[in-house]
């Protein structure tokens, strides 16, 4: 089974900060990685798939990148609406989610 | 507009059974792999099961294999999950989710329902 290790588990940041979340796969998943945003009481929302492909309607301050088995979600300038929990997901072999990163107000 | 509406959750005793349903609309249901994903209270997301568009191929997480059965009725645009031998650790909000690309193999999930809560407790 492919394991996804996401870090940090919690991130405290201020509006305007540049934020980076990392996800590491236990084996090669090519670019078969997605990022989701989840707010309390809501279903997850797909932000990025294929490691760096931004979904329609998602603000351009969100970006994704990959280097080997390490994947990164970057928010270039954190906005009030971005405080949420973020999950990575591999879909190279079945589906596995990372443990999540809660982005909270500093 | 794509809509996914789950139902069937509730309180059940350990060892009991429950059947979840997910009514889909707004897309050609038979063309898409569908999944169930669960989230225990205060915890992260866990993929549970998936089924091909035709219903001929199914996939399960090890934690539910042999106890849960996924199925679909393409004539009714509805996804199901039969849950047997339920355990306390199965307590979670269960989401159905649609794959992003039609029958493209494993893929991300672009639409999710709002979830149905399953509580396993005596």
Closest chain B residue to the Cα of A88, Cα to Cα: B45
- The number of helix segments (H) and strand segments (E) in chain A equals 0, 11
B55 DSSP β-pair partners? none
* Contacts of residue A42, Cβ cutoff 8 Å, sequence gap at least 6: none
Question: What are the φ and ψ backbone dihedral angles of B31, each rounded to 5 degrees?
Answer: -85, -5
pLDDT in tens, A53-95: 999 999 999 999 999 999 999 999 999 999 999 999 999 999 9
The pLDDT, as a whole number, for residue B16 is 98
Which of A32, A87, A94 lies at the smallest CB-CB distance from B45? Answer: A87
pLDDT in tens, B50-93: 999 999 999 999 999 999 999 999 999 999 999 999 999 999 99
At residue B68's C-alpha, the angle toward residues B63 and B69, to 5°, is: 135
Q: Which residues of B touch A (CB under 8 A)?
A: 35, 37, 44-47, 50, 59, 61-62, 95, 100, 106-110, 112-115
Closest chain A residue to the Cα of B43, Cα to Cα: A99
């Amino acid at each position: 089974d492919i394991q996804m290790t996401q870090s940090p588990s919690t991130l405290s940041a201020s509006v305007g900060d540049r934020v980076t979340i990392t996800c590491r796969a236990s084996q090669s998943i090519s670019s078969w990685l997605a990022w989701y945003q989840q707010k309390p009481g809501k279903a997850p929302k797909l932000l990025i798939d294929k490691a760096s492909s931004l979904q329609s309607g998602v603000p351009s301050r969100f970006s994704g990148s990959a280097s080997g088995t390490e994947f990164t979600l970057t928010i270039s300038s954190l906005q009030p609406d971005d405080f949420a929990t973020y999950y990575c997901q591999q879909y190279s072999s079945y589906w596995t989610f990372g443990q999540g990163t809660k982005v909270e107000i500093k | 507009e794509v809509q996914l509406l789950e139902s069937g959750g509730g309180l059940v005793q350990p060892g009991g059974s429950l059947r979840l349903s997910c009514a889909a609309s707004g897309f050609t249901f038979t063309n898409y792999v569908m999944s169930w994903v669960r989230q225990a209270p205060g915890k992260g997301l866990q993929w549970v099961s998936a089924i091909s568009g035709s219903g001929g191929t199914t996939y399960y997480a090890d934690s539910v294999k042999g106890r849960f059965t996924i199925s679909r009725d393409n004539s009714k645009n509805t996804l199901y999950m039969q849950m047997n031998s339920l355990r306390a650790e199965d307590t979670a909000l269960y989401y159905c989710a649609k794959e992003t690309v039609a029958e493209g193999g494993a893929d991300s999930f672009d639409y999710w329902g709002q979830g149905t809560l399953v509580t396993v407790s005596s």
